[in-house]
Amino acid sequence: MDSDHGMDPAHRVPDSLGEKTVRALGALSKALETTERARGHLYGFHQLTGTADFELGDAVRLLREAGHEEQAARVEREIVGRNVIPGHWTFQIIEAYNATYYEPFASVERDIVDELAGGRDHLLEARLKEIRRTPHHSDHTSSPPSS
């Protein structure tokens, strides 16, 4: 769209930005969003594995109550509290991922958006919203109503 005068100023493309830069920033943002999803899966893995470990505690207790001490002791010794990869519980995997990949990625993305777009996020999406919305339709407004 050639004119974005009705857009929220926080999402207007600065005059100095070309279309290729807007697309590049959109691709960078999309890549970070995909990383956010991957990170969410890591947290799901962390929570599910922790839940399974506590459920193992219940299994050990029930095995003992049923008179199966040897099997209960084996589960307790071999599996309860076990590392998921050598030397790591799931929280350590998340910490390593955050420090090694996620935080540097988020920082670089933020720096580039600040440098090239004056900190304006989602310029490509905002442009798409303008192109796809129906003018003068109450559910297709450019920005939220003013308070």
Range of the domain at 24: 17-132
With bands split at pLDDT 50, 70 and 90, how would you rate the model's confidence at 9? confident
With bands split at pLDDT 50, 70 and 90, how would you rate the model's confidence at 147? low
Q: Write the pLDDT tens digit of every residue in 34-58.
A: 999 999 999 999 999 999 999 999 9
Q: 120 in a domain, yes or no?
A: yes
Q: Write the pLDDT tens digit of every residue in 80-131.
A: 999 999 999 999 999 999 999 999 999 999 999 999 988 888 888 888 887 8
Q: 32 in a domain, yes or no?
A: yes
pLDDT above 70 for 69: yes
pLDDT above 70 for 1: no
Radius of gyration of the chain (CA): 25
Q: 142 in a domain, yes or no?
A: no
Q: 143 in a domain, yes or no?
A: no
CA distances from 101 to 1, 14, 85, 107 (A): 36, 30, 18, 10
Beta strand extents in the chain (DSSP E only): none
What is the domain count for the chain?
Answer: 1
Q: 12 in a domain, yes or no?
A: no
